Chains A and B, each alone.
Chain A
Amino acid sequence: MKKKKKSQPLKVRKAPFVAIFVFLVLGAVGISLGEPSRVLEQAKQICLSCIGIG
């Protein structure tokens, strides 16, 4: 007769939710400081030296 194996206990991990919350807050702080406009300004330009030209 086969032994009935115990299934692994179901345990919800909290760490990913904490990490997501922390980084969401960090992103929100960045947004409140106006960082996205700086990022957008940089991303709109071709940085030639950044790609090895010039």
Chain B
Amino acid sequence: MDFVRKWVQVLFFLITNGYWYFPVTRGIYQGPLKVICSPGLNCYSCPAATSYCPIGALQQLMAGIRLALENGQIYVGFYVIGSMGVIGSFVGRMVCGWACPFGLFQELLHKIPSPKFGVWRPLRFIKYVLLLFMVILLPLFAVDAFGFGQTWFCKYICPAGTLQAGLPLIILQPGLRESLGLLFLNKLFILSFFIVWAVFASRPFCRTACPLGAFYALFNKIKLVKLRLDTERCTQCEACHAVCPMGVHFNESPDDMECISCLSCSKACNFNAISLEIGGVPLSNQAPCRPEKAQLEQ
């Protein structure tokens, strides 16, 4: 299943970054597909991006609400939140494990041989603070004299934007290099920090700082497609603890907001206690236990 997941990740990377004509145009894709919401964190200023980043679009709308309302336009983010909510209601954070280009990037970095460490669990709350303040409240309320806010998360933090848009654009358009300053250095530092951290720890950005992951996490209890724990089969052997890239103890909290439904735990479970379900209906829960279980039972 991990093999399938990798290919799905690559497929989503190629679909959401499918404009390969950018080395010729030296600009970004400007076609109609950009009205479609990218499920994962994928900067729409990336030259190859073919869809919009929900976090970027949401901040832009929040930042421009006052001006829009003054002009009689009720642009308050219904379309963007609706798109994000539909994705979240269907699969929640499964997007992080299967469809996010920056998640794939971190997974590849984590394959570099090195000592591996966990991530201190309370750090996961930072992403909810970032979602609330830097994506919603600050763009909405910290406005300039003209009533226009800033895209705080994109501007000051987003390492995906630096990697996918900032760096490629200064390579493609050398004139932009004159505009680089402390702000870009700050963003380069944040990107470097998460790159190094991802080598030593699994998915540190997803676990601590991704506001999109925080939004999707709100749906983890009610989403349509989710992992199911068969409590009768589970022996509390804790095999699922060691393999989870997000540090979830699945047998203790099957609806954990950190779960990205990558199925690593399902693969590691010798008792077939973990399976996918759609709307409460298990997809494959009838498989017999693996030989190890038989040995244990004897």
Contacts and interface: CB of A to CB of B under 8 A. Distances in A.
B40 to A, nearest CB: 15
A38 to B, nearest CB: 5
B143 interface: no
* Interface of B: prevailing SS: helix
Interface size class on chain A is 35 or more
B232 A43 contact: no
Interface string A2-46: 000111101111011101101111111111011111111011101
Contact of A52 (B57, B89, B155, B280): B155
Nearest to A39: B57
Nearest to A6: B232
Interface residues of B, number: 62
B217 interface: no
B254 interface: no
Contacts of B27: 46
B45 A46 contact: yes
B276 to A, nearest CB: 14
Given A39-B35, A40-B35, A52 B187 contact: yes
Given A22-B85, A24-B82, A31-B79, A44 B279 contact: no
Contacts of B32: 40
B38 to A, nearest CB: 10
Contacts of B186: 52
B224 A35 contact: no
A45 B23 CA distance: 17
Given A16-B224, A51-B161, A30 B79 contact: yes
B61 A38 contact: yes
Contacts of B179: 48, 53-54
B265 interface: no
Contacts of A48: 176, 179
B154 A50 contact: yes
Interface stretch (B70-78, B123-131, B244-252): B70-78
Nearest to B32: A40
B273 to A, nearest CB: 11
Given A30-B79, A39-B79, A13 B35 contact: no
B222 A50 contact: no
B232 A16 contact: no
Report, nearest first, the 4 A-B pairs whose CB atoms are least far apart.
Answer: A27-B82, A30-B79, A23-B85, A30-B78
Given A27-B85, A35-B80, A51-B165, 18 more contacts: A16-B90, A17-B279, A20-B224, A27-B78, A27-B82, A30-B80, A33-B75, A35-B78, A37-B35, A39-B79, A39-B80, A43-B57, A46-B169, A48-B176, A49-B155, A51-B154, A51-B169, A52-B183
Interface of B: 27-28, 30, 32, 34-35, 43-45, 52, 56-57, 60-61, 68, 73-75, 77-86, 88-90, 150-151, 154-156, 158, 161-162, 165-166, 169-170, 176, 179-180, 183-184, 186-187, 219, 221-224, 230-232, 279-282
13 contacts: A8-B232, A11-B280, A12-B280, A17-B224, A26-B81, A28-B82, A30-B80, A37-B35, A38-B68, A42-B60, A43-B56, A44-B30, A51-B45
